[in-house]
Amino acid sequence: NAGVTQTPKFQVLKTGQSMTLQCAQDMNHEYMSWYRQDPGMGLRLIHYSVGAGITDQGEVPNGYNVSRSTTEDFPLRLLSAAPSQTSVYFCASSRPGTGTYEQYFGPGTRLTVT
């Protein structure tokens, strides 16, 4: 199993550009999520999905869109990049089971917006 994969590893954007961060998992996990990590602030939940066709907002959703057309893929789209979106982005997946969410993380995407 590849686990959770993310592309690209690094990206530089100019303000106003749009792009999509890709995330895929091969563990047949129902739950997938996107986090951003900023210095001193831990990881904050952007969007999450409890299954194909179902998405919802997390703590910091503004400026981001997601879709979940398959169980495997959960792309994160930046609509119009802003310098405040400079961060490291992690995708994670889990099988909720009894309601606990042990997260398996991808390697991360380091995004810089100039």
Partner 1 sequence: EDKVVQSPLSLVVHEGDTVTLNCSYEVTNFRSLLWYKQEKKAPTFLFMLTSSGIEKKSGRLSSILDKKELFSILNITATQTGDSAVYLCLSSGSARQLTFGSGTQLTVLP
Where do contacts with partner 1 occur on this chain (CB under 8 A)?
A: 31, 33, 35, 40-45, 48, 50, 56-59, 90, 96, 98-108
CB of 91 to partner 1, least distance (A): 9
Residue 43 one-letter amino acid: L
**CA–CA gap between residue 68 and residue 63 (Å, rounded):** 17
**CA–CA gap between residue 88 and residue 10 (Å, rounded):** 9
CB of 64 to partner 1, least distance (A): 15
3 state SS of 13: strand
Instruction: Tokens for 84, please give them.
Output: 């405040």
Q: Which is nearer to partner 1, 18 or 102 (CB)?
A: 102
CB of 72 to partner 1, least distance (A): 18
Query: What residues have CB less than 8 Å from 97, skipping those under 6 apart?
Result: none
Q: Which is nearer to partner 1, 16 or 96 (CB)?
A: 96
Give the count of beta carbons closer than 10 Å to the beta carbon of residue 40.
4
Q: Which is nearer to partner 1, 8 or 101 (CB)?
A: 101
CB of 90 to partner 1, least distance (A): 6
Q: Which is nearer to partner 1, 17 or 27 (CB)?
A: 27
